[in-house]
Structure 1
Amino acid sequence: MEARWDLNRRKLRDLLDRESVDALLLLGAPNITYATGIREPTGAMLITRDCGDVILTSVLDYNRVSSMSPKDVAVKAFYRRSGEASVGMAMVPQSDLISGGLTDAVKQVLGNCNVKSIGADLQWADYASLNVAQQLQARDLSSSIAKVRAIKDDWEVQAILDSIAAAEQAFREAIELLDSSPSESEVEAAFYSSLMRQGAWGESFPTIVAFYDHTALPHHTPTPVRLQKPGPVLIDFGADMYGYASDTTRSMWHGEGGAEYKRLIELVAEAQAAAVDQIAPGVEARSPDLASRRVLAKEGLDKFYNHGLGHGVGVEVHEVPYLAPASTDVLEKNMVVTVEPGFYIPGVYGVRVEDMVLVTAKGARLLTRLSRIIS
């Protein structure tokens, strides 16, 4: 898979004309990764109409960020205290050093440009970054940036497929432990270890491994509880493969018995199929969600369905669009979304079945390859 971060940067640059701004200030790490492919970037990035693209980072991170930055993106280091300057002399070329904090650095870079208006991604900004944007009187273009990121190019879809493949391989290796009475934490560790051996950046989110009544906790954190008798198992997992995420959930019954739980897994899979059938360009994102709820309502389980059907996935595991009852998003071609209906009966058990699909001109294309029914 050839990463084409320049294409992502070009799509962001198109916002300059569309939004009538002279520069775009990227303050959130996910957006800088989206524009450059840099893992865990720090600082900020400027995309300008007349002065090129510049990453502003700390003296400490300068060499790391520079080593990963695209050749056509300049990297500058800022320092707040005079004592950092002497350190910077050794670590950073003098021409790339900027005195002052992030705000001063942004102002200096823009000083020689004909910049009259700035847009920024305030949704992802921390407190310090918000202060920068406010001083520059930047317009909040977070929603515009989110919409750009929601539509995937072919290479991005392939990156997501690679992430899915790595996660599925790690899942298969992790569940091999189930016969040895592992703890939830040990299964998570096996999953993470496999991802690292495959060269992933890591998990796309903290892996959920839940046994027994813990399956009724949608965002359960793995514990030392061991799988020592037959019962339900739920694993929600994903990989971060070179900047793009995946997200899958499987529910299963481990050991003898479990006929009723297995039947309910198939019911949730039916709800998922009903939702997938609704997915197509121009469809309101709430429609697939409502279709899945109608299936679970047949057995009164919709009252235990306490989250939205799904969400977009890209450089972040949760992105636009959001498939939920009150969503105002509209599905478009080349969006990648999760479809994850479920129900959770407190103190008893929960079931969730989650896959990823690509919105195509003809409907939904399933990207996940793992069987929905794990025996």
Structure 2
Amino acid sequence: METPISQSEQDYRNRQNRAIAQLRERKLSAFLVTNLQNIYYLTGFRGSAGVLLLGAVVSRLWVDPRYTLQAQVEGKGVEVIEERGRLLKAAATYLKKAEHARAGKAGIVGLEEGYLTWAAFQELRREAPGDVRFKPAGGLLEELRSIKDPHEIKHIRRASEISCEAFEEIRGLIKPGVSETDLANELEYRMRQKGAEGAAFETIVASGPRGAWPHARASAKPLEAGELVIFDFGAIVAGYAADVTRTVFVGRPDRKAQDLYKAVLGAQEAALAALCAGVPGSKPDRAARRFLRQLRLDRFFPHSTGHGVGLDVHELPRLAKGEKTRLRIGQVLTVEPGIYIRSLGGIRIEDTVLIGERGPEVLTPASKEHWVVGWG
């Protein structure tokens, strides 16, 4: 197990300060954070229960007794409060006493509406003072998270390296008779051996016709000679994910399979060539689709070309039709065109890519050329 890359309290305070600046722009006095990934991003606390009230003067993190000691060690830049009752109710009660709740327009508290049930919102309204207004502010932190700092990039880079090293190690196991689940389990085991906390998501191994399901789960089905096999996998390091897909052919590939593979690889190369800071997220997507359209294969490409990667496997930004948000330096995202044909299966090639000052940098080095296994 490798020594983790340390982050200082100042790193987390810097993130909190950037978030607080966004609060001021939106005329919010505070922000109630209920998305656990966002709590981790802002404070370093990785427990499975917690409520954070981010404020310009003081930020408070409520946890239940299971997490008090953990929060006191991991939580940076916050006051940790142990609460034996409902955490959200405790935060609402605090608002009754908080100075910012009695400061005129300062009594507007932002909410992560996508991470708050209707029942929880009603509880907030009951418990909070009448002069506090709640305003949806979801996406505020996700936008900040889309630009990775050097620590985050190091974590994602290492997760990407581990993912690809583990995949290269299991290539020799990919052969007729081996089940999809056995390969998925072995791949995840190898990633953990190399220092990953685990798999960033459930590893996909989909062979033959099952490969036409873009998100097929690994099954007990054994691989057969002459099949395409999609591997979609990623390690997680310090909470940060990698996401990579490779497609291999078991045995001697026929001309059709070779041509389709080259088409998907060409579409990915076209998207990568269009990927740079300042362009809208629709441009790389359009480049991939245009390449496949020239080969009359675009109708077999049903999903978007890519998505952001970080604490979540799927986050901002998006590479998709109609996406107007412009890409920025420091963003990390996938580029993953694919085609899926019911009678044949699927082919997808995916890399995790950093948008750098000099252009895109592919972080996932697993070969895309040596894709024939179990033959010769």
Task: List alignment gaps of at least 5 residues for structure 2.
Answer: 102-106, 372-376
User: Which one-letter code corresponds to 2:98 in the other structure?
Assistant: N
Equivalent in the alignment of 2:110: 119
Evaluate the alpha carbon distance shift between residue 180 and residue 342 of structure 1 in structure 2; reply closer, same or farther with a 3 A threshold: closer
Partner of 2:87: 102
- The aligned residue for residue 176 of structure 1 is 172
Superposed displacement of residue 40, structure 1: 4.3
Contact 2:32 2:112 in 1 (8 A): yes
CA distance in 2, matches of 1:102, 1:26: 12
Unmatched runs of 5 consecutive residues or more in structure 1: 81-100
Which residue number in structure 1 is paired with residue 285 of structure 2?
A: 289
DSSP-derived class of the 1:65 partner: helix
The percent identity for this pair of structures is 29
Q: Is the 8 A contact 1:32 1:41 kept in 2?
A: no
Give the Å deviation of 1:23: 1.2
Taking the TM superposition and a 5 Å limit, the aligned residue runs for 1:1-375 are 1-3=5-7, 4-50=11-57, 52-70=58-76, 72-80=77-85, 101-110=86-95, 111-115=97-101, 116-127=107-118, 129-131=120-122, 137-179=133-175, 181-375=177-371
C-alpha contact (below 8 Å) 1:175/1:187 kept by paired residues: no
Shift of 1:238: 1.1
Which residue of 1 is the match for residue 104 of structure 2?
none
Q: CA deviation at 1:126?
A: 4.3
Could you tell me whether the CA contact under 8 Å between 2:168 and 2:366 is conserved in 1? no
The superposition leaves residues 26-68 of structure 1 with CA deviations (integer Å, 9 ceiling, x where unpaired) of 1111111211233343121111112x22211222333343343
305 and 79 in structure 1: CA distance in 2 versus 1, 3 angstrom threshold: same
In terms of mean alpha carbon deviation, does 105-114 or 159-168 score higher?
105-114
Residue type of the alignment partner of 2:140 = S
Secondary structure at the residue paired with 1:105?
A: helix
Q: How far apart, in 2, do the equivalents of 1:360 and 1:134 lie?
A: 44
Q: Distance in 2 between matches of 1:360 and 1:58?
A: 41
**Number of corresponding residues:** 353
CA distance in structure 2 between the aligned counterparts of 1:265 and 1:55, rounded to whole angstroms: 50
Amino acid at match of 1:113: E
TM-score in terms of structure 1 length: 0.87
Greater Cα shift, 17-26 or 270-279: 17-26
Letter of the 1:159 partner, please give it: H
Q: Return the alpha-carbon distance in structure 2 between the equivalents of residues 140 and 259 of structure 1.
A: 54
Q: In structure 2, the residue corresponding to 1:179 is in which secondary structure? A: coil
Shift of 1:13: 2.6
Contact 1:102 1:132 (8 Å CA) reproduced: no
Tell me which amino acid in the other structure corresponds to 1:21.
L
Most deviating of 4-13 and 157-166: 4-13
Q: Is the 8 A contact 1:183 1:223 kept in 2?
A: yes
What's the offset of the Cα at 1:107? 2.5
1:130/1:310 Cα in 2 relative to 1: closer, same or farther (>3 Å)? farther
Note the C-alpha offset of 1:134: 5.1
Q: Which amino acid aligns with 2:281?
A: A
Q: Distance in 1 between matches of 2:125 and 2:182?
A: 46
Q: 1:278 to 1:19 in 2, by over 3 A?
A: same
Could you say what secondary structure the match of 2:156 adopts? helix
Q: Whole-Å Cα distance in 2 between the matches of residues 245 and 133 of structure 1? A: 33
Corresponding letter in the other structure for 1:363: G
8 Å CA contact 1:271, 1:296 repeated in 2: yes
